[in-house]
Chain A
Amino acid sequence: MAFGGYIREVRELRRRGDRSFSLRQVAGRVGIEPAYLSKIERGQTPPPSERTIRRLASELDEDADVLLAMAGKVSQDLQEIVMLRPKLFADLLRQLREAPDHAVLRVAREIRDGDW
């Protein structure tokens, strides 16, 4: 689903249980004009900045990385991680490209327990 449509769907879902999720109030809390949010939701303008997407994610209780990906963006902190060791992380990501989720999760780093 397109970014804007998804935002609208999630916001409307929240609004059914809580009227403070109206377009106007959500826009206010996120710090943008209601008209701008409306255009975003209807896909009439490109997705907003990473900062605004993060605020929307926080407001709608959605995962910021997922929303950024839907908007065709990669978060700044992830870019910095890759830029720091580009070859290492590029190789790693390519190797994991086809891996199933459970295999990717195994790569997560465990805190080592020692002798105490």
Chain B
Amino acid sequence: MIELRNDRLAFSFPEVHRDARCSISFMRTLRIPDDDHEYPLPPGLGPFPLHHVDDYADRVPQGWSDHGGVFMPMYQAEALWISFDGQYPMAVKVSAGKIDAVTGKPFRNELRRRPQDYVVIPDQPWLDGFCVRKGLIRQFVAMPLGQGYTAEEQLTGAAEHGGLQIVAYPMKASRYEKLMAERIFAHYDMDAICCSPPEPSAMGLAPGGMMRQEVYPDDHGYSAWERDVRSRCFVHLLNSGQYRTVTGFAPPYEPPTAGDYTEAGLPWFEYFDTDLEALEGAPRLDRLDSVGARRVKEGKPPLDEGANVKPKPAQIERLRKNHAVRDESSAW
């Protein structure tokens, strides 16, 4: 089952094992420059607020009630990263607009072994974007559906789904017990308002700037997963401009630009796990236009990233598994 707890999706599979729990949250962050340079990991600026679609069924865009799930507000061109937290191994599929973020293939509920279309908790502490090449991702950036920027629209030609789709599979209890006995776990130390409201608008995720991040292969093997048991959630993205109209709450503040953040001397991050190789990226995703590239093609000015986005070495904190804390919300 999945519950909403403190703006986190709390997954639990008591029918598999009492320890089979994990949580997934969606972190606000800087949009890194979309200039084909490679950037380290930007900080977390706190989680996006999440709401049950059912609580606002009469005000959310058409079709969302059919999907069920949750929704959260995002500004146009705002970025996010997905934080995975838990000790019990889980295989988690992440799709944007029903395009798999690891392989670029169309969404399906089942786990795919080759190419691996899922990430493994707790090896993978977070995912910041589409896995385009080995060790490189393109940042998740929210764009309105219907303008052609999202991965979904570029790959399918249709703006049908938007949002994020998450499916989690727990490890088989027997494998988990064996792992516990061997005690080979990695222990993570992780923790525009309208007078006459327009139709609330849905958003999808487009590929943004390039970031150094590895998506790790399944170290447990395909047979480790309880493939008959899964929980899934559709995470809708609501344009922040309509958030108050739908929920009555003020949307979160706009995040600082990457330039302002860097100028303030605040940290960026690099994560490395020397034990694990990275998955190859997905050529299908690598061929997509980033938001910046598409704007150039359309003769539009680049998005404002602020000046001097060059994190100095002293600003880059290197994180290992036991120091994988990247949420700098307290700094803001």
Contacts and interface: CB of A to CB of B under 8 A. Distances in A.
Nearest to A105: B14
Interface SS of chain B: helix, strand, loop or mixed? strand
A44 B79 CA distance: 51
Contacts of B70: 111
Contacts of B1: 110
A112 interface: yes
A110 B3 contact: yes
Contacts of B65: 114
A112 B3 contact: no
B141 to A, nearest CB: 22
B2 A115 contact: no
A113 B231 CA distance: 9
A109 to B, nearest CB: 6
Contacts of A113: 2, 68-69, 231-234
Interface string A23-41: 0000000000000000000
Contacts of A111: 2-4, 9, 52, 68-70, 233
Nearest to B233: A111
Interface string A90-116: 000000000000000000111111111
Interface string B228-247: 00011110000000000000
Interface in B1-59: 1-4, 9, 52-54
B326 interface: no
B165 interface: yes
B234 A114 contact: yes
Contacts of B275: none
Contacts, number: 44
Contact of B52 (A108, A112, A115, A116): A112
Nearest to B11: A111
B133 interface: no
A112 B98 CA distance: 18
B4 A116 contact: no
A116 B165 contact: yes
Nearest to A113: B68
Contacts of B2: 110-111, 113
B66 A112 contact: no
A116 B68 CA distance: 9
A105 to B, nearest CB: 9
B67 A114 contact: yes
Interface string B63-75: 0011111100000
A112 B4 contact: no
Nearest to A114: B68
Contact of B67 (A108, A109, A110, A116): A116
A116 B3 contact: no
Contacts of A114: 65-69, 234
Contact of B68 (A108, A109, A112): A112
A114 B70 CA distance: 11
17 contacts: A109-B3, A109-B4, A110-B3, A111-B52, A112-B53, A112-B54, A112-B68, A113-B231, A113-B232, A113-B233, A114-B65, A114-B67, A114-B69, A115-B68, A116-B67, A116-B68, A116-B161
